Amino acid sequence: MKRFFFIFTILLPLSGMAQTITEGQSTLIYSLPKTEFVINATVEIVTEIPGKFYQYSERFLATSDVITAEKKYYRLKKISMDTRTVSDAERTFTIIPSKKSLANQLTVNDEGILCGINVAPAKQVKEIRVERIEQKEDLESAKLLPLSEEYMLAGSVAKMAEGAAKHIYRIRENRMDLLSGDVDNMPTDGASLKAMIAEMEAQEKELTELFTGKTTVQTLTQTVVYTPDSAVDDKIVFRFSSMQGVVDADDLSGVPYYLNIKYNPIKIETPEKPAKKKDIEVFTVIPVTADVKFDDGNKILYENKLTLPQLGILVPIPFETMDKYSKAYVSPETGRLLSVEQLPKK
């Protein structure tokens, strides 16, 4: 698929300019904008690890609800869609400066997107989304707490499992005694009591996982970027697989997610007489407004009217109505010519 890719790290507005210029030659370069769709999927990677004593869980802990085999799978927690503006490599223009041309006064922002003529560049706030990953627990941390010499030297897995189970029951009894106040050395304050109980619960959990198994969850964001270049109807932009997470649209192992884009193309009339060719032109955009819907086949996840400059038409800035004191303002988000100011001559 040529129009989308996965991002798992820092997300920045990126664009490429495929331009050929002559080294040493004065050249002005500007781009018109295009809108990209950024779809963020919050995904959980669940890993299940069986405990060392899972075969003895029913015998010593009276439970059969245990993990018996290692397993890894993905869960989709949340999905959202947003837009961002980047420079359009297919609408990037080079200009060889002319001594008297107003094009010499064009301004662009940090992305090289046209902001106007004889105006200050528009300030642009870059979107930075840092992938957030929960601290992954050490899958090898399941280890025995100190057991008596009787169990450690037995050399039998069943005997060690029995010792671990007895330790679990002992911890539970001690916790109940603390909660009921039936101990000789009762903690003097609530904070100390809370800390002791928390420590007991941690030890019990670690030992119990030797029987029931351990589940760890790693949370990450998988991002799909889609660049619309035409109207689409139920376009599959990606799929979600329980085995791999976000996958390519052609991967039938996943559940599809659909995109619909509908708009009315701008009609262009060809003049009876071709316009006289101008020496230098700086183009703006008449963008289209599209109805955009993103869904999973059952539920609408995003629906909005969006401005898509890359699907619009090009029109030049009317230099014939301007002089060197004039200002032309262009939206770096839509590429539209906003206004032309005729300033008083100095």
Judge whether residue 135 has pLDDT over 80: no
Q: Are residues 170 and 222 in the same domain?
A: no
- Mean pLDDT score, 93-108: 88
Q: Are residues 125 and 169 in the same domain?
A: no
172-207 pLDDT, tens per residue? 988 888 888 777 777 777 788 888 888 889 999 999
126 belongs to a structural domain = yes
Q: Are residues 181 and 41 in the same domain?
A: no
Judge whether residue 171 has pLDDT over 80: yes
Judge whether residue 115 has pLDDT over 80: yes
Q: What is the pLDDT of residue 3?
A: 39
Q: Are strands 245-247 and 327-330 parallel, antiparallel or unpaired?
A: unpaired
**Complete DSSP assignment for 155-218:** --HHHHHHHHHHHHHHHHHHHHHHHHT-SSS--SSHHHHHHHHHHHHHHHHHHHHHHH-EEEEE
Q: Are residues 25 and 129 in the same domain?
A: yes
138-154 pLDDT, tens per residue? 434 345 455 555 555 55
- Mean pLDDT score, 297-321: 94
55 belongs to a structural domain = no
**What percentage of the chain reaches a pLDDT higher than 70?**
80
121 belongs to a structural domain = yes
Q: Are residues 193 and 311 in the same domain?
A: no
**Global confidence as pTM:** 0.75
333 bridge partner residues: none
Residue 206's domain comprises 143-210
**What percentage of the chain reaches a pLDDT higher than 90?**
54
Judge whether residue 134 has pLDDT over 60: no
Residues 246 and 255: their CA atoms lie apart, in Å, by 9
Q: Are residues 32 and 112 in the same domain?
A: yes
Sign of CA pseudo-dihedral 298, 225, 233, 331: positive
Q: What is the pLDDT of residue 16?
A: 38
Judge whether residue 128 has pLDDT over 60: no
Secondary structure (3-state) at 329: strand
Q: What is the pLDDT of residue 219?
A: 94
Q: Are residues 121 and 239 in the same domain?
A: yes
Q: Are residues 121 and 246 in the same domain?
A: yes
Q: Are residues 25 and 123 in the same domain?
A: yes
Q: What is the pLDDT of residue 149?
A: 52
What is the count of structural domains for the chain? 2
What's the order of all strands across the beta sheet hosting 255-262? 245-247, 232-241, 255-262, 283-295, 300-316
Q: Tell me which DSSP letter residue 50 carries.
A: -
71 belongs to a structural domain = no
Residues 183 and 200: their CA atoms lie apart, in Å, by 15
Domain boundary among 165, 189, 210: 210
Q: Are residues 183 and 304 in the same domain?
A: no
Domain boundary among 210, 230, 246: 210
Query: Which residue from 139, 170, 134, 166 is spatially nearest to 151, judged by alpha carbons?
Result: 166
Domain boundary among 159, 187, 210: 210
Q: Are residues 203 and 233 in the same domain?
A: no
- From residue 306, give the alpha-carbon distance in Å to each of 37, 123, 228, 288, 339: 10, 22, 11, 8, 21
Least confident window among 5-9, 156-160, 315-319: 5-9
279-295 pLDDT, tens per residue? 789 999 999 999 999 99
Q: Are residues 264 and 289 in the same domain?
A: yes
56-93 pLDDT, tens per residue? 999 999 988 999 999 999 999 999 999 999 999 999 99
52 belongs to a structural domain = no
Residues 4 and 10: their CA atoms lie apart, in Å, by 16
Q: Where are the beta strands (DSSP E) in the chain?
A: 6-7, 28-49, 71-95, 106-108, 114-117, 214-226, 232-241, 245-247, 255-262, 283-295, 300-316, 327-330, 337-341
Q: What is the mean pLDDT of the chain?
A: 83
